[in-house]
């Protein structure tokens, strides 16, 4: 005979892992629903980044002459892909519990599924863009190298963990204070400027001062690390001079950023579990 158990105790991410099938169904549903009745369908996930890229490339690259960066197209696209994936993941994850309010109120299922599904959907969108990035880098003269592969994997893992941790945290708080989603939107619009996506790092270094704490903060922003990683993985190998321009200490900063991201996942899970008892009442 099975044991008496309290229903609905949050099992955290482990519970999500046990319900993988439901997770895949939720991800598929999300993709289906987002592109319902649209002719282009998943093609929109190419068009949007293509337009963003074109705007920055023309505006910054050609007009403001940032194309002093060698292989600026690869540099720009790599960073944009990472930041866009993170923005999409976090933006949707933050809203995910509120958006699924009806389910949360009626059926018990591990609610962590919702933010995790949002992150997975962003991952599905990221994949073809990475392929485009790699093809573009190949055309620009890049050839795969082992360290680069590790950097790319680290970049994706880091971005995913960050989005999951923050997504869990913010989606739970969003149930209590809907202001959160507006704040997140605001922060996400600034995000692309807070990492070396559009401009080279040395401009920030000379602005803030090499030894200043402001620059250290900028450098240790986990998303900056993710952008540096994608640059290291692709852009660095495209032209001979590029590798020297990748900011130093990347390996150390990667380890720190991964530790921060894992910490955020733990924190997010904890907060989520504590608040999830109130979800049904608040929604």
Partner 1 sequence: MVEGESVALLGRNGSGKSTLLKLVAGVMAPDAGCVRVRGRLAGLLEVGAGFHPDLTGRENVHLNASILGMDPRAIRARFDEIVEFADIGPFLDTQVRFYSSGMFLRLAFSVAVHTEPDVFLVDEVLAVGDEAFRDKCLTRIERLSDEGRTLVVVSHDLPLVERLCRRGVVLDSGRLVHDGPVREAVEHLRAVL
Return residues touching partner 1 (CB under 8 A).
1-9, 19, 21-22, 25-26, 29, 32-33, 36, 102-109, 277-278, 280-281
Residue with smaller CB distance to partner 1, 28 or 220: 28
Shortest distance in whole angstroms from residue 5 CB to partner 1: 6
CA–CA distances in Å: residue 178 to residues 43, 68, 111, 161, 175: 31, 43, 18, 23, 6
Residue with smaller CB distance to partner 1, 37 or 190: 37
CA 77 to chain centre: 15
- Residues 116, 89: contact at Cβ < 8 Å? no
Shortest distance in whole angstroms from residue 24 CB to partner 1: 9
Q: How many C-beta atoms lie closer than 10 Å to residue 29's C-beta?
A: 12
Residue with smaller CB distance to partner 1, 150 or 280: 280
Shortest distance in whole angstroms from residue 22 CB to partner 1: 4
- Residues 104, 111: contact at Cβ < 8 Å? yes
Shortest distance in whole angstroms from residue 31 CB to partner 1: 11
CA–CA distances in Å: residue 171 to residues 96, 97, 263: 6, 6, 17
- Spatial distance between the Cα atoms of 267 and 254, rounded to a whole number of angstroms: 20
Element (H, E) at 8: none
Q: Quick one: tokens of 69? A: 């960066």
Residue with smaller CB distance to partner 1, 219 or 276: 276
CA–CA distances in Å: residue 110 to residues 20, 54, 168, 275: 11, 41, 12, 13
Residue with smaller CB distance to partner 1, 117 or 140: 117
- Residues 41, 35: contact at Cβ < 8 Å? yes
Shortest distance in whole angstroms from residue 175 CB to partner 1: 13
Residue with smaller CB distance to partner 1, 7 or 68: 7
Shortest distance in whole angstroms from residue 4 CB to partner 1: 4
Shortest distance in whole angstroms from residue 104 CB to partner 1: 8
- Spatial distance between the Cα atoms of 88 and 179, rounded to a whole number of angstroms: 18
Residue with smaller CB distance to partner 1, 107 or 190: 107
Q: Which residue has the tokens 């046990």?
A: 18
């Amino acid at each position: 005979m099975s044991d008496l158990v309290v229903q609905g105790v949050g099992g955290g991410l482990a519970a999500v892992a046990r319900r993988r099938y439901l997770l895949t169904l939720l991800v598929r549903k999300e993709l289906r629903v987002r592109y319902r009745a649209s002719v282009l369908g998943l093609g929109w996930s190419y068009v949007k980044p293509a337009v963003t890229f074109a705007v920055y490339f023309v505006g910054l690259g050609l007009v403001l002459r940032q194309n002093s960066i060698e292989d600026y197209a690869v540099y720009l696209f790599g960073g944009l892909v990472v930041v866009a994936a993170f923005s999409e993941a976090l933006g949707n994850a933050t809203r995910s519990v509120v958006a699924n309010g009806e389910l949360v109120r009626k059926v018990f299922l591990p609610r962590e599924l919702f933010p995790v599904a949002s992150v997975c959907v962003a991952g599905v969108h990221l994949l073809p863009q990475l392929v485009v990035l790699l093809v573009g880098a190949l055309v620009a003269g890049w050839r795969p190298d082992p360290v680069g592969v590790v950097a790319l994997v680290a970049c994706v893992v880091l971005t995913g963990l960050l989005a999951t941790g923050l997504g869990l945290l913010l989606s739970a708080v969003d149930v209590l204070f809907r202001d959160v989603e507006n704040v997140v939107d605001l922060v996400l619009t600034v995000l692309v400027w807070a990492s070396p996506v559009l401009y080279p790092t040395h401009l920030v270094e000379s602005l803030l001062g090499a030894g200043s704490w402001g620059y250290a903060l900028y450098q240790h922003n986990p998303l900056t690390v993710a952008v540096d990683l994608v640059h290291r993985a692709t852009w660095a190998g495209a032209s001979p001079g590029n590798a020297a321009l990748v900011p130093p200490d990347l390996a150390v900063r990667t380890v720190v950023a991964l530790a921060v991201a894992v910490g955020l996942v733990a924190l997010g899970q904890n907060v989520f579990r504590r608040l999830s008892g109130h979800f049904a009442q608040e929604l």
